[in-house]
Structure formats: structure tokens, C-alpha cells
Amino acid sequence: MKLDKLCKAGCIVTISLASVILFLNLVNILLLAINFNKIDKDLIRIFGDSNNIESIDRGLKILKVIFYIISITFCIPTIVLTAYALKGNLKSIILPSVLSIIFAGIIGGVLMLCGKYKNHENEEQTDNKIVKEEKLIVID
């Protein structure tokens, strides 16, 4: 599969954005792990000195960790599939571009979908239609 410059740009944007999102999610998980036993001061201000503040705070922190883990589990396949598409190992670029639109930002996925890719040297595939390049030979 041969990618044009627009598809390559979309792949590079997707890989970089998904990597930044992955890194920030890992940092947030580490920060939550460090501050897990500290009670959030905003919760004390909202609920007062209640006995349930510790359980509410831990529940909210666990929900944050679960959200970050879910986000990480979808960023990793996005990076891997986009890297395979950039190398030319995938038959179709639709799945990495849709994953990119959903999980890594709209810019990279749209660039990949707008670009053209060729399965073979003489075939160009756009919107599920295969157009073969034919050479016109003029004989005088």
C-alpha cells in the first residue's frame, strides 16, 4: 500500500497526538496514586465534616483511574494501527482513521480519510472504488 502525503501527514499527526494523550493519562494515574490517601479539600468544603467524605473521595479517584485506563486501552491500538498504516502494511486505512477521529483528535483522522492510498502500483482506491491507471499509447 502506498500512501500520499496527506495520508502520511494524518498518520504522523495521529501518532503524535495519541502519544501525548497516552503520556498525560499515565502521568495523571501516577499523580492520583501519589495523592490517593489525601482527601480533596473541595469535598470537605462541599460536604462538610461528614463521615462519608473518605469513601466519596476514594470512589471518585477510582472512577478517574478507570477512565484513564480505558483511555489508555484505546490510545495504544490507535498508535499501533496508524504505525502499520504508515509503513504500508494495512489493506485499508479506514479503521485507523476512525479510531483517530474518536480517540486522538479529529485532525489526523480527517487527513487520513481525505488522502488517497494505493493497494498496488497501478491501482488507486478512494471511497471503495478501484480505479486502474491505464496508459494511452498513440501510434502514428
Question: Residues of the chain with pLDDT > 90: what percent?
Answer: 19
Q: Check residue 39 and report its DSSP letter.
A: P
Question: Out of 12-21, 43-52, 72-81, 90-99, which region has the weakest mean confidence (pLDDT)?
Answer: 43-52
Q: Does residue 107 surpass a pLDDT of 60?
A: yes
Rounded CA separation 99/81 (Å): 9
Rounded CA separation 14/104 (Å): 6
Q: Strand 117-118 and strand 129-132: pairing?
A: unpaired
**Cell digits of residue 81:** 494501527
Q: Which amino acid is residue 55, in one-letter code?
A: S
With vertex at residue 65, the alpha carbon angle to CA 61 and CA 70, rounded to the nearest 5 degrees, is: 150
**Cell digits of residue 16:** 503524535
* pTM reported for the whole predicted model: 0.71
Q: Does residue 86 surpass a pLDDT of 70?
A: yes
Q: What integer is the mean pLDDT of 44-53? A: 67
**Higher pLDDT among residues 62 and 132, named by residue:** 62
